[in-house]
Chains A and B, each alone.
Chain A
Amino acid sequence: MVTKRSVSLVDEVATAVEEAAKQDGVSFSAWLSNAAEKQLQVRQGLRGVAAWEGETGSLSAEELAAGEALLARLRSGVSGVASRVRRR
Chain B
Amino acid sequence: MSLARREGLVYGVGALHAAARGDRMMWALHRAALSNGIVPVIPAVAVAEAYRTEARGDRIAELLDGTEVEPFSSEAARRSGELAARCDTTELATIAVIELADRRNCAVVAQRQAVLRNAAALLGHELVLYAV
Contacts and interface: CB of A to CB of B under 8 A. Distances in A.
20 contacts: A41-B66, A44-B65, A45-B30, A45-B34, A49-B34, A49-B66, A51-B65, A59-B27, A63-B24, A66-B28, A70-B28, A71-B32, A74-B107, A74-B109, A74-B128, A75-B107, A77-B6, A78-B2, A79-B107, A85-B24
A69 to B, nearest CB: 8
A65 to B, nearest CB: 8
B6 A52 contact: no
Contacts of A67: 25, 27-32
B2 A79 contact: yes
B128 to A, nearest CB: 5
Q: Taking chain A's interface residues, is the majority helix, strand, or loop, or is none over half, making it mixed?
A: helix
B27 to A, nearest CB: 6
* Residue among A38, A53, A76 with most chain B CB within 10 A: A76
Contacts, number: 129
A85 B65 contact: no
A51 B62 contact: yes
A42 B40 CA distance: 10
A47 interface: yes
A44 B39 CA distance: 10
Interface residues of A, number: 34
A78 B126 CA distance: 10
Interface of B: 1-6, 9, 18-19, 22-25, 27-39, 59, 61-68, 107, 109, 112, 126-132
Instruction: Please report whether the interface of chain B is mostly helix, strand, loop or mixed according to DSSP.
Output: mixed
A13 interface: no
A75 B85 CA distance: 30
A79 B1 contact: yes
